[in-house]
Amino acid sequence: MAWRLFRKDEDLVRKITELRKTRNAVILAHFYERPEVQDVADHVGDSLELSRIASKTDADVIVFCSVRFMAETAKILSPRKKVLLPVWGAGCPLADFADAAQIRAAKAEYPQAAVVSYVNTSAEVKALSDYCCTSANALQVVNAVPNEEIIFVPDRNLGRWVAEQTGKRIHLWEGQCPTHQHIRAKDVAALKAAHPDAEVLVHPECGDEVRSLATHCLSTAQMLRYCEASTAKQFILGTEMGLLHQLNKKVPGKLFLFPGNGPVCPNMKKTFLKDVADSLGEMKHEILLPEDIITSSRRALDVLLSAVPAK
Ligand code: CIZ
């Protein structure tokens, strides 16, 4: 169904547009956010790219429509800007699988190992990590790490994929993204049977069985770029359905199919236009991080930033 705004939403969009100006704010929306929230944003993308873009603007305020770890990443890259997360309760169950005490314990158990944390982690966990990676560059980062032994935090599926591809000795964490983990191989196989010409692109947070059906294993931004560049006309996508909005905008005329009823991240859907307007109007909810956490997590992120070329 095509997305349309209701009158109330149009009023909110007007209010957000005014507030954005008076507050000198930049609005970011992750690919998994609601379509109307994506449409009100200045930039839509993956978490690292958005944080990087925002850090280069002269905005005083960053409103990051996303989940908490993403807004924290923006704060780490822009410590002098005010970073707002419109819905305070928008968390990430995957990031919650690792806390600082657990990382300290794992480091004590495997003292030779480097800690590589996925960007889906809290600032405290990043601060204790040697390196940070995204799904787009996990292979590059792990290959570049001098240690043969690695503690990979927190996504087990991504960690296992990295271990297979790099041959490094990887201590896997128990974490998983419920949205990607629940994508079923039988639903992907059914779509493949019905659309034999479709290319299958899956996120590395998916389970092994789903991954084994894929043409390519890609991050969200990589999927979008791949669909733009490919001559294929049909794609089966193993990721959160919010990406469909940008796919339809940027790659018109192609068919995008999602397995099952369409994977949805409930946390990414917590933010409505009203939350964006309230956040900017009342300057809530601000992400505050201690200076030492910003400094240490920035060090782990810097390795990542130098490994990922800016677009
Ligand atoms: O960091 C992001 O944006 C995530 C979690 C997913 C992706 O594939 O880009």
Per residue in 197-218, pLDDT tens? Answer: 999 999 999 999 999 999 999 9
* Nearest to 124, CA basis, from 286, 267, 308, 300: 300
Clarify whether residues 168 and 119 are in a common domain. yes
Burial code of 190-206, b = ≥16 C-beta within 10 A, e = fewer? ebbeebeebbbbbbbbb
The mean of the pLDDT values for the chain is 95
User: What mean pLDDT do residues 24-28 have?
Assistant: 98
CA of 32 to the centre of ligand 1 (A): 9
Clarify whether residues 237 and 279 are in a common domain. no
Model confidence at 1: pLDDT above 50: no
Clarify whether residues 81 and 130 are in a common domain. no
CA of 8 to the centre of ligand 1 (A): 31
Total number of residues shown for the chain: 311
Model confidence at 304: pLDDT above 90: no
Taking only Cα atoms into account, the Rg of the chain, rounded to an integer number of angstroms, comes to: 19
Per residue in 254-301, pLDDT tens? Answer: 999 999 999 999 999 999 999 999 999 999 999 999 999 999 999 999
Clarify whether residues 86 and 108 are in a common domain. no
Model confidence at 2: pLDDT above 60: no
Clarify whether residues 209 and 281 are in a common domain. no
Clarify whether residues 17 and 58 are in a common domain. yes
Q: Please state the separation of Cα 254 from the chain's center in Å.
A: 24
Is 301 contained in some domain? Answer: yes
Is 272 contained in some domain? Answer: yes
Q: How far apart are CA 102 and CA 97, in angstroms?
A: 9
Is 101 contained in some domain? Answer: yes
Model confidence at 308: pLDDT above 60: no
Neighbours of 47 (CB within 10 A): 25
Q: What domain range is 154 assigned to? A: 95-176+292-307
Q: Which of the listed residues 69, 134, 202, 311 should we mutate to test ligand 1's pocket, taking the one with most ligand atoms within 8 A of CB? A: 134
Is 59 contained in some domain? Answer: yes
Clarify whether residues 34 and 71 are in a common domain. yes
Per residue in 152-201, pLDDT tens? Answer: 999 999 999 999 999 999 999 999 999 999 999 999 999 999 999 999 99
Which residues on neighbouring strands pair with residue 131, listed in sequence order?
A: 116
How are beta strands 82-84 and 61-65 bridged, if at all?
parallel
Q: Which of the listed residues 51, 158, 219 should we mutate to test ligand 1's pocket, taking the one with most ligand atoms within 8 A of CB? A: 219
Query: 306 pLDDT band (50/70/90 cuts)?
Result: confident
Clarify whether residues 12 and 151 are in a common domain. no
For residues 135 and 117, is the Cβ–Cβ distance under 8 A?
Answer: no
Clarify whether residues 276 and 225 are in a common domain. no
E strand intervals along 176-298: 199-202, 216-217, 234-238, 255-257
Which ligand 1 atom sits closest to the C-alpha of 49? 3
Is 241 contained in some domain? Answer: yes
CA of 220 to the centre of ligand 1 (A): 6
Clarify whether residues 80 and 104 are in a common domain. no
Clarify whether residues 299 and 163 are in a common domain. yes
Per residue in 253-266, pLDDT tens? Answer: 999 999 999 999 99
* pLDDT score at 307: 61
Per residue in 77-119, pLDDT tens? Answer: 999 999 999 999 999 999 999 999 999 999 999 999 999 999 9
* pLDDT score at 309: 54
HSE (side-chain half, CA atoms, 13 Å) at 17: 8
Is 263 contained in some domain? Answer: no
For residues 280 and 16, is the Cβ–Cβ distance under 8 A?
Answer: yes
Is 87 contained in some domain? Answer: yes
Model confidence at 311: pLDDT above 90: no
Q: Please give the backbone phi and psi of residue 64, each rounded to the nearest 5 degrees, phi first.
A: -110, 105
What does the block give as tokens for 157? 């599926």
Per residue in 52-62, pLDDT tens? Answer: 999 999 999 99
Could you tell me the CATH number of the domain that includes residue 143?
3.40.50.10800
Q: How far apart are CA 293 and CA 305, in angstroms?
A: 18
172 phi-psi bin (left φ>0, alpha ψ -120 to 50, beta other): beta
Q: What is the DSSP letter of 129?
A: -
Is 190 contained in some domain? Answer: yes
Model confidence at 45: pLDDT above 60: yes
pTM listed for this prediction: 0.95
Number of domains in the chain: 3
Which ligand 1 atom sits closest to the C-alpha of 119? 1
* Nearest to 151, CA basis, from 143, 142, 161: 142
Model confidence at 5: pLDDT above 50: yes
User: What mean pLDDT do residues 241-263 have?
Assistant: 97
Clarify whether residues 250 and 120 are in a common domain. no
Cβ < 6 A, ligand 1 pocket: 30, 46-48, 119-120, 134-135, 203, 219-221
For residues 98 and 171, is the Cβ–Cβ distance under 8 A?
Answer: no
